[in-house]
Amino acid sequence: MADLRDRYATALFELLMENGALDVFLKQAAFLRDTLQDAECQRVINHPHISVAEKCEFFNNAFAEAIHNDLYGFLHLAIVKKHEKFLVPILTAFIDMADRYYRRTTANVTSAIELNEGQISALKELLSKKLNKHVEISLKVDPSVIGGLYIHVDGYFIVDQTMKKRLHDMKVNIKRSTANDSQA
C-alpha cells in the first residue's frame, strides 16, 4: 500500500508543481482529505456493491465544482482504477510532501494546562528557529501530565519536560538504587 500511496502522491505533487499552483491545490487537497474521512464518504468509498460509475457520479456531484480539474481528475482516476480506499493516505502523503517542500511542520504540544497566546507564539518562534521550518502548533491539554509539556514533531519527541515523566524517572532510579543496594 505504501508504494501505491507514494506513487500517486508523487505523481500528484509533480503535476501540481508543473502547473505552478501548489498552494491552491494544497488547500483543496486538505479539504478533500478531510471530507473523504467523513463517515458517509467512507461508506460510499468502501461499499463493495456500489459500482465505479455510481462512485464517480457521487464524487462528481460532491466535488466537481469544489476542486480544480486536475485534482478532480486524480480523484476520478483513483476511483476508476479501484484505488479509492487509498485516497485519504495518498492525499495525506501529498500534503506531507508539500509541507516538506515549503519547510512547514506541525508541532503537537501536550501540556497540563491551556497555554496562552503569548506562550504559544513564543513556542512557535523557538521551534521555528530550532527546526529551521515554519511551525504550526497543535495544542492538546492533558491534566495527566501533571505539569510541564511535551512536544512531538515529525514522529519524534523534541521535548518531554512533564512532571509525569520526571516522577516516572525518579521511580525508576529509586528501584534501580534499591536493587543495587540489595545486591551489595
Q: Are 5 and 88 within 8 A, CB to CB?
A: no
**What is the average pLDDT across 76-94?**
92
- The strands making up 156-160's β-sheet, listed across from edge to edge, are 134-141, 104-111, 149-153, 156-160
| pLDDT category of residue 9 using cuts at 50, 70 and 90 | very high
Mean of pLDDT over the chain? 90
pLDDT, tens digit, for every residue of 92-123? 999 999 999 999 999 999 999 999 999 999 99
Q: Are 72 and 21 within 8 A, CB to CB?
A: no
User: In the structure, how many helices (H) and strands (E) does the chain have?
Assistant: 8, 4
| pLDDT category of residue 159 using cuts at 50, 70 and 90 | confident
pLDDT, tens digit, for every residue of 137-154? 999 999 999 898 999 998
φ, ψ of residue 172 to 5 degrees: the values are -65, -45
Domains, the chain, in order of start with CATH, read 2-100 (1.10.520.20), 103-183 (3.40.30)
Q: Are 78 and 63 within 8 A, CB to CB?
A: no
How much of the chain exceeds pLDDT 90, in percent?
55
On the CB side of 103, CA atoms within 13 Å amount to: 8
Give yes or no for residue 64 having a pLDDT over 90.
no
Neighbours of 137 (CB within 10 A): 16
| pLDDT category of residue 184 using cuts at 50, 70 and 90 | low
| pLDDT category of residue 46 using cuts at 50, 70 and 90 | confident
Give yes or no for residue 39 having a pLDDT over 70.
yes
**What is the average pLDDT across 55-79?**
88
